[in-house]
Amino acid sequence: MALLEVNSLTACYGDFQALYGVSMSVDAGQAVAVIGANGAGKSTLLKAIVGMHPAEPDMIHFEGEAIGGMRPPKIVARGVTMVPEGRRLFSSLTVEENLRIGGQLGRRGPWSLQRIFELFPMLAERRSQRSMSLSGGQQQMVAIGRALMSNPRLLLCDEISLGLAPIVVRDIFQRLPTVVAEGTAVVVVEQDVMQALAASNYLYCLQEGRVLLKGESRNLDRAAIKAAYFGV
């Protein structure tokens, strides 16, 4: 049984339909990438999975349980969490407080404040700084650390490369295998196709709310990805 099963998920913003029956599945310990141009519905997909966008119960199953449309705290308590687009750290909390609040549900697992500081050593020395005084890359590390602190079985990352220098992006992506190795399945949503391919073993390409292409990352034909991405 797959860890996460998305079945014909539809989503609308008022009259605008963002997703037209998207299906995907993620196995435990897998790294899955979702790529697509702006407005393809990638963020909406992730939001629906964590309960931040409405869905019918049967559209999303986690560990066999229908979780579609549950409130986010309930879904996070079951072991799914998200690194939101744009990081969205709590500005009035320190770095350490941001991390600790991620762990306040008290789910058991490999991740602790200690382990986060081992994964991102530069955060340890900045632990009592205000989160907004950090550089963009460091803020992204806090956002990832905050999500990991809940010891999720499934971690969703929404555009973690957004607005960061390529060297910083590479640095952050290099840590993802460590996360997967701890048994956490990861879904990365990316516009950066090369980064997405390198970081995943399975890939979905969305276009205008539909899955146009899917397959094992290493077997996918570059030309086919290009066609699905740009719709040419």
Catalog residues that contact other proteins under the rule CB under 8 A.
50-52, 71-73, 76-77, 81-82, 84, 88, 90-93, 97, 100-102, 104-105, 146-147, 150
Determine phi and psi for 204, rounding to 5 degrees.
-115, 135
Helix intervals (H) in the chain: 42-50, 72-77, 95-102, 113-119, 121-124, 136-148, 166-173, 176-181, 193-199, 222-230
**At closest approach, how far in Å is the CB of 174 from other proteins?**
25
| 126 vs 146, beta carbon nearer other proteins | 146
Nearer to other proteins, 101 or 198 (CB): 101
Q: Closest separation between CB of residue 105 and other proteins, Å?
A: 4
Smallest distance from other proteins to CB 134, Å: 15
Considering the complex, what minimum distance in angstroms separates the CB of residue 161 from other proteins?
Answer: 19
Dist. CA 164–CA 134, nearest whole Å: 13
Q: Which is nearer to other proteins, 69 or 215 (CB)?
A: 69
**Alpha-carbon span 103 to 150, nearest angstrom:** 5
Residue at token pair 């607005």: 163
Choice between 160 and 213, CB closer to other proteins: 160
Angle at 63 between CA 60 and CA 64, to 5 degrees: 65
Can you tell me whether residue 164 is helix, strand or coil?
Answer: coil
User: Min. distance of Cβ 143 from other proteins in angstroms?
Assistant: 9
For other proteins, the closer of residues 82 and 164 by Cβ is: 82
Cross-strand bridge partners of residue 215? 203
